[in-house]
Structure 1
Amino acid sequence: RLEQLIRSVKDTIGAEERNEIMSDEQKFEAFKQRAVAHNEEVYGAEIRAKYGDQEVDEANAAVMNLTRERYQEWTDLGREIQERLEDAVRSGLSPESEEGRVLCALHRQWLTITGNQYDPAKHRGIAELYVMDERFTAYYDKQMPGCARILRDAIVHWVK
């Protein structure tokens, strides 16, 4: 994995130095590798200590295996979830409502686009992180406070 990242960085630098135009596929591969490298640099030690090398390596591999189409689907779905969360908070919807059920289902789909096996206990655990870890809360609440909590509450209610 590290060799692949180094090769990609060297290819990107070389293309820049030669004023070459990288193909969209090359750009996408470099983007994924930068994203994985950034995640490792910022969170690697913490998540490896908490979840283990195998779990983190599998998550990184899942990102690296995404096609552009699946990546676009993943980001579009993430955006839809965020917009629906903000609408739910704005309108005071209950996490136990039909919209709460839909949010929960969309979040499940978002979690599994990268190829991860669905596990209800992990889904609930991830949802708890959204309110326990201020970094996750800040991400979901960046535009409207309360989004992380309503997502967590919907998942807790609907995932059995």
Structure 2
Amino acid sequence: MEYSIRELADLAGISTRTLRYYDEIDLLKPCKVNENGMRFYGKQEVDLLQQIMFYREHDVKLDVIQQIIHQPDFDVEEALKEHLSVLLKKKERILALIRTVELTLDDWKGAYHMSDQMKFEAFKESLVEKHEQKYGKEAREKYGDESVDASHKKILNMTEQDYERFQNLEKEVLRQLEEAVKEGAKPDSETGKRIVMLHKEWLGFTWKEYTAQAHNGLVQMYLADDRFLQYYNRNVNGCAEFLVAAVQCWAK
């Protein structure tokens, strides 16, 4: 069965503009175009669009999706298994959060006593799972399973105060980086030193042992990985570069 661009857009719940853009960037080409310029899509294109939408649901960028699905050895079955695995883990996180909300409501009503530790367990488990999905493979290859598992354990064992400090430190590092870059501060200045000390403290919540060498190695990875670059430079360009240079100066 073939679909016009309008029919496929309606079927998938997306806009015809999106499909035209996918055609322009060679992500999803129609199987044919008639003499009037009307695009038509067949079964292969429908299946490919489904894959694209699965990856988009996981926040994968379009250029990365293009590299994945247009590989000669792209395996649809394996891709579907991967999607299922990711979605099941996401389901587990959501169910854990739902359970936390339910228990918190019971606690407020006096029907159940919820410890302070329990109030944050689901959030910490969700954080660990997200880190594992995003960076787990690379981290395990680079540092080994024992080191990564130990880091996850430290997160799960955080007290309420530790978890709050850990979350706030991450935000504070980014805030001060953005201010430093906007104000034209130098990485080797006292401002740079202060940011490095905050970043070091933040790492201490998850690292089994701190070393300046490991700190430098980590921030160098920030420059090589688009995910980290986009995180640190999301509001102000140059933040990731400032952090790397500051760590080189002040990590001890």
Q: TM-score range by the shorter chain?
A: 0.7 to 0.9
Pairwise CA RMSD: 2.8
Partner of 2:230: 138
Instruction: Give the C-alpha shift of residue 106 in structure 1.
Output: 1.3
TM-score of the pair, normalised by structure 1: 0.82
The 3 A distance-change label for structure 1 pair 96 and 30 is: same
Residue-by-residue CA offset, 1:14-66 (whole Å, 9 max, x unaligned): 67789963635334112211222232234323322222111111111111111
Q: Which structure's residues are more often helix, by fraction?
A: 1
Does 2:145 correspond to 1:60? no
Runs of 4 or more, structure 1, over 3 Å off, are: 7-25
Instruction: Give the C-alpha shift of residue 140 in structure 1.
Output: 0.7
Match of 1:21 among 98, 106, 114: 106
Higher RCO structure (Cα 8 Å, ≥6 apart)? 1
Partner of 2:184: 92
Instruction: Give the C-alpha shift of residue 123 in structure 1.
Output: 0.8
Partner of 1:158: 250
Of all paired residues, the percent bearing the same amino acid is 36
5+ residue gaps, structure 2, are 1-91, 108-113
Does 2:132 correspond to 1:40? yes
Mapped contact 1:66–1:114 kept (Cα < 8 A) = no
| Count of matched residue pairs | 154
Residue-by-residue CA offset, 1:85-132 (whole Å, 9 max, x unaligned): 001110111101111111111111111134632211001111111212
The 3 A distance-change label for structure 1 pair 117 and 85 is: same
**How many Å separate the matches in 2 of 1:11 and 1:139?**
26
5+ residue gaps, structure 1, are 1-6
Larger radius of gyration: 2
Partner of 1:4: none
Partner of 1:3: none
TM-score of the pair, normalised by structure 2: 0.54
Amino acid at match of 2:141: A
